[in-house]
A and B are shown apart, each in its own frame.
Chain A
Amino acid sequence: MSTPTSTPTAATHENRPSLLVTSPNGRRRARISQLMTGVLLLTVLAALVPLAILLWQVISNGWGPFSWEFLTTVEPLSYRDTGGGYLAGIVGTLYMTGVAALISVPLGLAAAVYLNERPKGRYASVVRFFTDVMTGVPSVFVGLAVYALLVSGSGGLGLGFGTLAGAASLAIIMLPIVVRSSEEMLRLVPADLKQAAFGLGARQWQTTLKVTLPAAAPGLTTGVILAVARGAGETAPLILTALGAREVVLRLTGAPQADIGLLMLDGFRQPFEGGIQRAWAGGFTLILITLGLSIIARALARRSQI
């Protein structure tokens, strides 16, 4: 048995140095600690700088052309003209995001409930695998796939460009986010509560519907809103599905639908001041929408009781 020099004995315990005397390498450890704190702070700042620049750009350029008129009128016929707004795009984005949420939220919640209640179920690993893969699929490819399946007449359903096709592509992008965040939230529901329900003679579906889902509701809402915010900000999958429009479109199919991102794309591509100004304001609007949704989501998450 090795005997370190500092084996505690009654004698050494009586002759301890004052607390003010630092132990041998204490000073070095304190210095390293300070240094690492500084390094980590720098990395945090480095991560925040691009975000701050981006926000600053959009706000400083978009705040000027942003107005009530921008929110309530459609674009003038020519990109050269100033004035007008993105009403068509705002309606289209909200419309398609809404329809996409109607498709992806029930499906996503159902999948999450399945993964939570049957974590080792027959299809659980398959669902998890495809959910992970779908998270990584480039969004433009999602648009391409929906184009082939729904829009195109040759080999697809031939629905044509429009709200439904756009919403379908957004739904595919939102689905894995809904599934994964909901699964996490459902897992946080204490097993105690489910046991209590079973102990009272609840069936599996009654436990899920009346105990697990309500207990997880605030967290589920947060996840859903974040997924919706993500969908609302997508542009790439809409190029091949919604196509874009300059007038307000209320039809579900049969007419190309407008989108804020698509309008911005067009606006920035033209060398005319009017279109570029409106595109900045469009970016500002989009950030307002997604930021607003995120803030709501965070606020709800804070109210969560689990």
Chain B
Amino acid sequence: MDHRTAMARDLDHGQPPDGAPDEQAAQQHAPGTEPAHHAVHISIDQVSVRYGAFTAVRDVCFDVPRNAITALIGPSGCGKSTLLRTINRMNDLVPGATTTGAVTYNGEDIYAEGVDPVEVRRRIGMVFQKPNPFPKSIYDNVAFGPRLNGRKRDLDDLVEHSLRRAALWDEVKDKLAQSGLSLSGGQQQRLCIARAIAVDPDVILMDEPCSALDPIATLRIEELMKDMASEYTIVIVTHNMQQAARVSDLTAFFTVDMDNERQERTGVLVEIDDTDTIFTNASDPRTEAYITGRFG
């Protein structure tokens, strides 16, 4: 199956994107004929990221389907985290970083002129590698995002809903006033997920969300992710291949391209496919070598 087509990009959002090819594509596919999770939510087209003269990741193209979990795997330095951060323009915050190519969200280029990166980040939330709750109460952590947007009242329901959605409510409902830092690592990470959900994004990016957690906390987050996939589009970077195999619908394999002449290591996308296919019948020998533990 080819996930790179722009076929159902605007199924849910009505607005066809500018440009004739996309409109044609939209007309060719009657709405509703494709399974929901195959609708393209985010499309990454020829994306490269440079830090000064150094190219971290080059010419990446793939589509992220709606309401599915897409895992990005690959060895260290293959640019998967960098690529993840292009999806909500977090790379803008790194001095000297330049992103080229297009990242399309609901048919709109998020790097287009006039697009406010802050607006992008409110729609496309992020959970980080290390749980990073603010040194505030559990309640204030979850309410932080909504308050930024000017919402001052009726936060109780939103906080409860977000904490329930992140499977944390039952553990913290009696101690909402306690510091978020008083929770265990796994709880802190679920608090960060609740905090991200509270802003009402429809995409959540997770940058190795379990790498600082023990196996049991990891399992809980993984279950949570699978549960959330019905409502959210999730893109996860992971070092843990088993995790990708367990939770994701699609897996993208990245690797490091060595340029011996220029002594440069650049991340490139090798392939992306259904997770089952990647793990059992990868088309690129590099993918198979990595999956079977021959390198990386």
Chain A interface residues toward B at CB < 8 A: 120, 190, 192-193, 195-203, 206, 210-211, 214-215, 305-306
Q: Do residues A200 and B121 form an inter-chain contact, with CB atoms below 8 A? A: yes
Q: With A120-B95, A211-B134, A215-B135 in contact, is A198–B90 under 8 Å at CB?
A: yes
Q: Do residues B132 and A198 form an inter-chain contact, with CB atoms below 8 A? A: no
8 Å CB interface, B89-129 against A: 90, 93, 95, 118-119, 121-122, 125-126, 128
Q: A197-B144, A200-B196, A200-B199 are in contact. List 19 more A-B contacts (CB 8 A).
A: A190-B132, A195-B93, A195-B128, A195-B132, A196-B133, A196-B134, A197-B134, A198-B121, A199-B90, A199-B125, A199-B126, A200-B121, A200-B122, A200-B144, A200-B145, A200-B195, A202-B148, A211-B134, A305-B135
Give 8 pairs: A residue, B residue, CB < 8 Å, sorted on A.
A190-B132, A193-B135, A200-B145, A201-B145, A203-B148, A210-B144, A214-B135, A305-B181
Tell me the nearest residue of chain A to B181, going by C-beta.
Answer: A305
8 Å CB interface, B29-79 against A: none
Interface residue? B149 (CB, 8 A): yes
In the complex the two chains form, what is the Cα distance from A25 to B126 in whole Å? 57
Contact partners of A203 in chain B: CB under 8 A: 118, 148
Encode B261-291 as 1/0 by CB contact (under 8 A) with A: 0000000000000000000000000000000
Q: Do residues A206 and B148 form an inter-chain contact, with CB atoms below 8 A? A: yes
Tell which of B119, B121, B130, B136 touches A199, judged by Cβ atoms closer than 8 Å: B121
Contact partners of B130 in chain A: CB under 8 A: 192
Using a Cβ cutoff of 8 Å, how many contacts connect chains A and B?
A: 63
Q: SS class of chain A's interface: helix, strand, loop or mixed?
A: helix
Q: Do residues B128 and A201 form an inter-chain contact, with CB atoms below 8 A? A: no
Chain B CB within 10 Å, residue with most, of A201, A203, A306: A201
Q: With A120-B95, A211-B134 in contact, is A199–B128 under 8 Å at CB?
A: yes
In the complex the two chains form, what is the Cα distance from A203 to B120 in whole Å? 12
Chain A CB within 10 Å, residue with most, of B88, B145, B181: B145
Interface residue? B192 (CB, 8 A): yes
In the complex the two chains form, what is the Cα distance from A86 to B22 in whole Å? 84
Q: With A193-B134, A211-B134, A305-B135 in contact, is A200–B128 under 8 Å at CB?
A: no
In the complex the two chains form, what is the Cα distance from A227 to B86 in whole Å? 43
Encode B174-212 as 1/0 by CB contact (under 8 A) with A: 000000010000000000100110010000000000000
Q: Do residues B145 and A215 form an inter-chain contact, with CB atoms below 8 A? A: no
Tell which of B122, B149, B192 touches A196, judged by Cβ atoms closer than 8 Å: B192
Tell me the nearest residue of chain A to B93, going by C-beta.
Answer: A198
Contact partners of A215 in chain B: CB under 8 A: 134-135
Chain A CB within 10 Å, residue with most, of B130, B135, B136, B196: B135
Contact partners of A211 in chain B: CB under 8 A: 134
Tell me, rounded to whole Å, the shortest Cβ–Cβ distance linking B246 to chain A: 25
Q: Do residues A200 and B148 form an inter-chain contact, with CB atoms below 8 A? A: yes
Tell me, rounded to whole Å, the shortest Cβ–Cβ distance linking A260 to chain B: 39
Tell which of A192, A210, A305 touches B128, judged by Cβ atoms closer than 8 Å: A192
8 Å CB interface, B136-151 against A: 136, 144-145, 148-149
Chain B CB within 10 Å, residue with most, of A202, A211, A215: A202
Contact partners of B132 in chain A: CB under 8 A: 190, 192-193, 195-196
Tell me the nearest residue of chain B to A201, going by C-beta.
Answer: B122
Tell me, rounded to whole Å, the shortest Cβ–Cβ distance linking B118 to chain A: 5
Contact partners of A199 in chain B: CB under 8 A: 88, 90, 121, 125-126, 128, 196
Tell me, rounded to whole Å, the shortest Cβ–Cβ distance linking B117 to chain A: 9
Contact partners of A305 in chain B: CB under 8 A: 135, 181
Contact partners of A206 in chain B: CB under 8 A: 148
Tell me, rounded to whole Å, the shortest Cβ–Cβ distance linking A68 to chain B: 43
In the complex the two chains form, what is the Cα distance from A190 to B129 in whole Å? 14
In the complex the two chains form, what is the Cα distance from A201 to B136 in whole Å? 18
Tell me the nearest residue of chain B to A192, going by C-beta.
Answer: B132
Q: Do residues B119 and A201 form an inter-chain contact, with CB atoms below 8 A? A: yes
In the complex the two chains form, what is the Cα distance from A214 to B179 in whole Å? 14
Tell me, rounded to whole Å, the shortest Cβ–Cβ distance linking A185 to chain B: 14
Tell me the nearest residue of chain A to B149, going by C-beta.
Answer: A201
Contact partners of A120 in chain B: CB under 8 A: 95
In the complex the two chains form, what is the Cα distance from A22 to B192 in whole Å? 54
Contact partners of A214 in chain B: CB under 8 A: 135-136
Tell me, rounded to whole Å, the shortest Cβ–Cβ distance linking A145 to chain B: 37
Contact partners of B119 in chain A: CB under 8 A: 201
Contact partners of B145 in chain A: CB under 8 A: 200-202
Tell me, rounded to whole Å, the shortest Cβ–Cβ distance linking B288 to chain A: 35
In the complex the two chains form, what is the Cα distance from A76 to B203 in whole Å? 77
Contact partners of B195 in chain A: CB under 8 A: 196, 200
Contact partners of A190 in chain B: CB under 8 A: 132
